[in-house]
Structure 1
């Protein structure tokens, strides 16, 4: 496991910088999903596809940042409880977070699946690219579950003092996103839909790796199924 950062002993500035930089870089890489899609679609697809990806990716970045902001709150609370040695309280916070993020994932997924035309219209998507924008939002919106899952696992790692592991997983996802974009857009000429599918697939890879790593981590809090409720 990646070495954890301690904020309870010694000077605070250096550990804070070492902890914060991977967080900022991970958020930057998450925001780059849409930019990568736009770059590759612009190279191998039509201007209509470029317009659709440009509009759709802005909406997805906004939703991702919203989820990341919620995750930061759990990171802070969990870090405080771990620092005080409150194992049961930490487990209950994670349990509440799991329930909270499940609700967020369901609401966002349903909203993007059914309200994609209205959102596209609100964003003034060009008429020629309107249907493709809707398709991009529905595919990526259907993947909100994995976006939320990644941010939940990432905030737990950061609450443990480990901000490097979430960075590594999102960097791996970026690589898979590029590979997926090239295969679906350059070879199969799927355009907007291909870029959206590649993005969701890359995020699934990120979640699977995160789950594998956290299962191998000795957690400093107690988590039971009965804790997965509102505390």
Structure 2
């Protein structure tokens, strides 16, 4: 066995211990990220009401854009870094970290400026009805100022985990979330600032998390960053982009689907008993609740990444296979629990975010039970997609990241409502989830049947 594998914990410690060490902080970090949206939704729902909840749903594609950039350069940089460290190419590894940081800063600043300059056209494009637009403009104009820090915190967290310190990555996100929650209560309930108060609390929390991430990355554990490593060079950026494309594409696909979904909910909602705002408000809340569930499989996949990348780079395929199978087992258990919650307690969950009419509850309960029917399969796609990216097969990872959102869900939410109205949107979800889960299973089985994985597991 290679000397590096013996000395590096990623190649020597038991898989269970490593997966818990890296996945648990990643899950907590993802939960904290989801908490930002959930907390805003709670305070806005309790103070502003349905129109405020609808406004946050309209602004949600921009938050997804931030996460897409963070995953592109965070997971891409982390995968390239760990693969290089597994090959004992320490100098190359440092360049991947430095180039990732610089690209995160540049892209985050650019997204902030674009949003500020084209705010109203963007919100209308995202599907905002007239009675929601004012709330959405107030909220988004403020939150967009925090985009660079949000991307730094999310993308930097992946780089920090790759450097072997998942706990600090978790603390970065947790600190920002705690500040956001406290300030939400003060600004919204105490000062009665409404949408502006929730937005201000959000960006203050994001700034804290982003600055903490930058502070850590200036003093990495395993490599020493210099100004030379921060110089953008195409050879490194190209590799980062190729490895980060799959998780980024998945987020972009989510954004595209979210925009089409918003427009469909508004259009077909107006033709139904629910009207324009109720479907938008319900879908926004439920998607963010679903994000809480997705924090677990995504967190598991992120914790899996450094383990798989290092051991694949070190040609220790036995540990690669074992780590993937462990991750799948944990993902399945969590997905079954989430499925039971969504099927058995939908009204109780939606009631947390404020009161509504009978039609509001009717649509929300149906959305939970029908749209999220195949939640118990939804762990396969994110874990398997990140697995392929982590082993240096980004094309397969990208394809898998597109299956649920673009290949299956997008056509269904366009076509089915034409046939059966707004109910078509509800039934699009389980069909897409089933097809995406099945595709991930087939691709994973084919990969693990390759001869290099067929040694007896440790």
Normalised by the size of structure 1, how large is the TM-score?
A: 0.86
Contact 1:88 1:223 in 2 (8 A): no
Greater Cα shift, 104-113 or 62-71: 62-71
Contact 2:78 2:159 in 1 (8 A): yes
Q: Which of 104, 112, 117 in structure 1 is aligned with 2:120?
A: 117
Give 1:80 shift. Answer: 2.4
User: In the alignment, which residue of structure 1 is the partner of 2:70?
Assistant: 68
Q: 1:74 to 1:204 in 2, by over 3 A?
A: same
Contact 1:44 1:191 in 2 (8 A): yes
2:100 maps to 1:97: yes
Give 1:178 shift. Answer: 0.9
User: In the alignment, which residue of structure 1 is the partner of 2:175?
Assistant: 172
Larger Rg: 2
Q: Unaligned stretches of 5+ in structure 1? A: none
Q: Which of 222, 237, 244 in structure 2 is aligned with 1:220?
A: 222
Residue correspondence of structure 1 range 1-231 to structure 2 within 5 A: 6-56=9-59, 58-70=60-72, 71-214=74-217, 217=219, 219-228=221-230, 229-230=232-233, 231=236
CA displacement 1:188-231 (0-9 Å, x = unmatched):
2111111111100001111233344455x553213211222224
Give me the whole-angstrom Cα distance separating, in 1, the residues matched to 2:152 and 2:195.
Answer: 24
Give me the whole-angstrom Cα distance separating, in 2, the residues matched to 1:172 and 1:226.
Answer: 31
Give me the whole-angstrom Cα distance separating, in 2, the residues matched to 1:65 and 1:184.
Answer: 26
Contact 1:87 1:222 in 2 (8 A): no
Contact 1:38 1:54 in 2 (8 A): no
Give 1:161 shift. Answer: 2.2
Contact 2:78 2:97 in 1 (8 A): no
Q: Helix, strand or coil for the counterpart of 1:143?
A: helix
Give 1:157 shift. Answer: 1.1
CA displacement 1:77-104 (0-9 Å, x = unmatched):
1122334443321221122112221221
Give me the whole-angstrom Cα distance separating, in 2, the residues matched to 1:41 and 1:148.
Answer: 23
Greater Cα shift, 13-22 or 139-148: 13-22
Contact 2:44 2:198 in 1 (8 A): yes
Q: Unaligned stretches of 5+ in structure 2? A: 1-7, 237-458
Q: Helix, strand or coil for the counterpart of 2:192?
A: coil
Contact 2:78 2:158 in 1 (8 A): yes
Give me the whole-angstrom Cα distance separating, in 2, the residues matched to 1:10 and 1:163.
Answer: 16
Bigger relative contact order (CA 8 A; separation at least 6): 1
Give 1:20 shift. Answer: 2.1
Q: Helix, strand or coil for the counterpart of 2:170?
A: helix
Aligned residues: 225
Give me the whole-angstrom Cα distance separating, in 1, the residues matched to 2:188 and 2:12.
Answer: 51
Give me the whole-angstrom Cα distance separating, in 1, the residues matched to 2:12 and 2:181.
Answer: 41
Give 1:128 shift. Answer: 1.7
